[in-house]
Amino acid sequence: MNSSTSSEQTILVTVNGDDRPGITAGVMDVIGSSGATIEDVEQIVVRAKLHLSMVVRVPPRRDLIKELLLFGWQQKMQVDFEIVNETPTPRPPGLVVTLVGTEIHPLEFAAVASMCARVGGNIDRITRLARYPVMAYELVVRGARSDELRRNLLLAGRDLRCDLAVVHEGLAQRGARLIVMDVDSTLIQNEMIDLLAENAGYASEVAEVTERAMAGELDFEASLVERVALLKGLPESAIADARSRIKLTPGARTFVQTLNVLGYRTAIVSGGFTSITESLARDLGIDHAYANTLEVVDGTLTGRVIGDIVDRERKAELIKELAQIEGISVEQVVAVGDGANDLAMLEAAGLGIAFNAKPVVQDAADTTINVPYLDAILFMLGVRRDHIEAAGLG
């Protein structure tokens, strides 16, 4: 018998049955009235079925088991008991594994669980985060060799029909306070320069260079200078026309609004142009916006960019500068991007997410999202769909 006196016991109590108001209160009342104390408690409800587990320290000469069995019989609940060691089982540091996909098959759960077990990990808890527009689940894994689990799961994720993220439990996930996003093909579905090039009559030429630059085949700064030069002579009104044709990525507005409600700070860091990004930031309520500035003289584009170009290296510098401005560490920054120009930014942040990205970016990022909804990134932060809906944003 485990006891600190001759008859004191530590008991694991589990209560299962149809959930309804008053069950938890009734159990606690029985325990409290007996003079017992609770060492630990967890409760979950799945499809209206209650599962309540408690570790209870029972004082000498009190028959709590009989009283709880009577309560269970009266309430038509199943009550089970097990005498356990009074010393709590150590809980090793945990990893949070997030699965996101249009559908998550049991075999994908099996593959993830097998990978966890292979590196010494045990799944401590599984929580559903969302059922639509995608399925999302969060697994807390304990005891795994973290670097090995992260590496193997991210490699395995390429063969699964879902996306996987692996972060340390605690501040690495919940402590994220600043979300920094690329704009072209991330926050919006378009490429800003391609929209402008259509008005200049160079759509195909510019689009080809843009695609090669985003795939990492061309130096971004040189390619930007080359493309902007083709805009020479374009009237400034073409910028407003391009802005009017911008299409937000599905879920973008919900994503930013939810972050704002939750108290996150947001930023966009773009290889595009301030004349468009600044209006996007105002419209969506984004806190910081950085991009390139097109030179305009007498109402006409000169084909040049003013000031330093926001390229791959500058984006990484801005991660550090924004963290300093917000008074946080870079480990609390999440960066989201899709192109080769985002690689250094994703690496510099505490968590780098490749969103529907080019292969070179997916290979290098901490995790990937390949569903078409930007707000799916919220699930990588542990935000649940019902929280979004409760805020009137879903």
Q: Which of 95, 153, 81, 149 is nearest to 124 (CA)?
A: 95
287-293's contacts with Cβ under 8 Å and 24+ in sequence apart are 288/322, 288/325, 290/318, 291/183, 292/224
Q: Mark whether 386 is an active-site residue.
A: no
The C-alpha atoms of residue 184 and residue 248 are separated, in whole angstroms, by 10
CA atoms within 13 A on the CB side of 26: 18
> Which member of 184, 287, 338, 342 is catalytic?
184
User: Which residues fall within 8 angstroms of residue 187, CB to CB, at 6 or more apart?
Assistant: 181, 248, 249, 252, 268, 280, 374
Q: Letter for the amino acid at 310?
A: V
Phi, psi of 373 (to 5 degrees): -115, 120
Residue among 19, 29, 63, 182 flagged as catalytic: 182
Number of Cβ atoms within 10 Å of the Cβ of 332: 20
Question: Measuring CA to CA, which residue among 62, 5, 54, 100 is closest to residue 353?
Answer: 100
Q: For residue 75, what is the DSSP state?
A: H
Look up 283 and say whether it is catalytic: no
The residues annotated with a catalytic role in the active site are: 182, 184
